[in-house]
Amino acid sequence: MKIAVVGTGYVGLVTGTCLSESGHHVTCVDVDEKKIATLREGGIPIYEPGLEELVRRNARERRLAFTTSLAAAMRDTEVVFIAVGTPPGETGEADLTHVLTAAEQVGRAIERYTVVVNKSTVPVGSCERVREVVARSARAEFDVVSNPEFLKEGSAVDDFMRPDRVVVGVASERARQVMADLYQPFVRTEQPILFMDPRSAELTKYAANAMLATRISFMNDVAALCERLGCDVDQVRRGMGSDRRIGYPFLFPGVGFGGSCFPKDVRAVMTMARQLGLDFDLLRAVERVNERQKRLLFDKAVKHFGALAGKRCALWGLAFKPKTDDMREAPALTLAQLLAGAGAEVVAHDPVAAEVARPLLGPHVRLAGEPYAAAEGADALFLVTEWNEFRAPDYERLGQIMRGKVLFDGRNVWDAARARAAGFTYFGVGRPAA
């Protein structure tokens, strides 16, 4: 099939590349000329494991192309994906400006039967709004389909290639067949394509993210309880997760959830509910717990040190999760700002996200090119993002180069007993004090 993808961000670029990998001819479009130039030169504008190699190969084999011209990308196209950003508007509702602009441009370029697939995360009813906008200028028949994306950053290619399920909200049999053909290579084992009405598909995306965020805030509250009761949240988590009705994923307590999706999608669901006269109290609590959690390591440091002025604090990890350079709503930003605001000297290291983080951190946070360089002379070391290279630190070396011997492990990945045996004061999240 000939496919166009509008928007070459995390979702659009992964979608376009994976579809070309399955043999289709894909043209990715973006208004950002710099992104398109980078892609045309064989680079990729984001860090996503495994993606660059796939982009290069499919481009070389002429199944994947990049352009800033949507009209050119849509020539003879049977399917066009819309994968542009839906940032939160002022009231918390998803801002549809980019989606509707893209829909308008797509409408003008339609010259043959086309399936318009919305992949962006959008409020219920958006599919219908896209249909109305496209209808104003389309010169041929078309259908609009809702196909929310569930990939996670850091494992996006794998998630797309082997999805737990594919959700397709579709009203027409013709479009349903096109979508079934398109996704068939990715659901060859037992994973289903779940066909449903477009409104239900749109809500499924928000409900899934809100549920996952709820699990995380729930565990962060369980961790707080553990600290006060002298329990170990790791053991409680294992005990809970082994119940098949609960399961293990997304039960890790930490420094709060960040990223471009959970915070904005939780807010969007609350706004959607409020506009309908419903109070989604549960999600208000999820958000409140998350705000508290982003401050947790700072509060622990204040409790331990008293005043932080003049203390040197080293941060390992800045990205909102490992294996990405995405800094959107990263908990590290909150921690760095709080520490710097309290007069501490902050030095941070991230293996990938440092350049993206630099302008967001402000002048008071220094970046180090290497983890131990960040820890040099520090009074305390904070683990914020659990990159693999931070998981087994050299405690002896840290003991020699740090000024103080205090560790704040925001992800519970360090061995508390080993750290304490090496003379460190160790604080985790929901782990018992020594």
Ligand X SMILES: O=c1ccn([C@@H]2O[C@H](COP(=O)(O)OP(=O)(O)O[C@H]3O[C@H](CO)[C@@H](O)[C@H](O)[C@H]3O)[C@@H](O)[C@H]2O)c(=O)[nH]1
Contact call for residue 321 and ligand X (CB under 6 A): yes
Q: What is the Cα Rg of the chain in Å? A: 23
Give whole-number Cα distances, 148 to 11, 15, 20, 82, 223, in Å.
10, 11, 19, 10, 32
Q: Is 381 annotated as a binding residue?
A: no
Contact call for residue 31 and ligand NAD (CB under 6 A): yes
Single out the residue of 258, 317, 393, 410 in contact with ligand X (rule: CB under 6 A): 258
Helix or strand or coil: residue 299?
helix
Cα 42–Cα 45–Cα 49 angle in degrees, nearest 5: 85
Write the CB contacts of 72 (distance below 8 Å, at least 6 apart in sequence): 27
The residue at minimum Cβ distance from ligand NAD is: 9
Helix or strand or coil: residue 88?
strand
Q: Which stretch binds ligand X (CB under 6 A): 28-36, 122-130, 194-202, 254-262?
A: 254-262
Q: Tell me how far apart the alpha carbons of residues 265 and 279 are, in angstroms, rounded to a whole number.
A: 16
Q: Is 261 a catalytic residue?
A: yes
Q: Is the dihedral of CA 274, 277, 279, 283 positive or negative?
A: negative
Contact call for residue 430 and ligand X (CB under 6 A): no
**b/e burial code for range 158-176 (CB count within 10 A of at least 16 → b):** ebbbebeebbbbbeeeebb
Q: Is 252 annotated as a binding residue?
A: yes
Q: Tell me how far apart the alpha carbons of residues 409 and 398 are, in angstroms, rounded to a whole number.
A: 14
Single out the residue of 24, 63, 98, 312 in contact with ligand NAD (rule: CB under 6 A): 98
Element of type H or E holding 118: strand 114-118
Length of the chain: 434
Contact call for residue 82 and ligand X (CB under 6 A): no
Q: Which stretch binds ligand X (CB under 6 A): 104-112, 182-190, 257-265, 370-378?
A: 257-265
Of residues 154 and 371, the one with the C-beta less far from ligand NAD? 154
| Least separation in angstroms between CB 402 and ligand NAD | 35
Catalytic choice (18, 127, 261, 313)? 261
Helix or strand or coil: residue 348?
strand
User: Out of ligand NAD, ligand X, none, which partner does residue 6 contact, by CB within 5 to 8 A per kind?
Assistant: ligand NAD
Write the CB contacts of 13 (distance below 8 Å, at least 6 apart in sequence): 5, 28, 39, 44, 45, 46, 48, 51, 55
**Residues near ligand NAD (CB under 6 A), total:** 27
Single out the residue of 27, 77, 114, 121 in contact with ligand NAD (rule: CB under 6 A): 121
Contact call for residue 12 and ligand X (CB under 6 A): no
Of residues 12 and 163, the one with the C-beta less far from ligand NAD? 12
Of residues 6 and 416, the one with the C-beta less far from ligand NAD? 6
| Least separation in angstroms between CB 120 and ligand NAD | 3
Of residues 20 and 324, the one with the C-beta less far from ligand X? 324
User: Out of ligand NAD, ligand X, none, which partner does residue 35 contact, by CB within 5 to 8 A per kind?
Assistant: ligand NAD
Q: Tell me how far apart the alpha carbons of residues 314 and 365 are, in angstroms, rounded to a whole number.
A: 10
Q: Tell me how far apart the alpha carbons of residues 125 and 272 are, in angstroms, rounded to a whole number.
A: 11
User: Out of ligand NAD, ligand X, none, which partner does residue 65 contact, by CB within 5 to 8 A per kind?
Assistant: none
Q: Is 150 annotated as a binding residue?
A: yes
Helical ranges in 190-325 per DSSP H: 198-229, 233-241, 262-275, 281-294, 296-305
Contact call for residue 252 and ligand X (CB under 6 A): yes
Q: Tell me how far apart the alpha carbons of residues 180 and 152 are, in angstroms, rounded to a whole number.
A: 23
Contact call for residue 160 and ligand X (CB under 6 A): no
Binding region for ligand X (CB under 6 A): 121, 149-153, 209, 212, 216, 250-252, 254, 257-259, 261-262, 320-321
Active site positions, annotated: 261
Q: Which residues are annotated as a binding site?
A: 30, 35, 86, 121, 150-153, 205, 250-254, 258, 264, 321, 328
Residue ranges of the annotated binding site for substrate are: 150-153, 205, 250-254, 258, 321
Q: Which residues bind ligand NAD (CB under 6 A)?
A: 6-12, 29-32, 35, 83-86, 98, 101-102, 105, 120-121, 149, 151, 153, 260-261
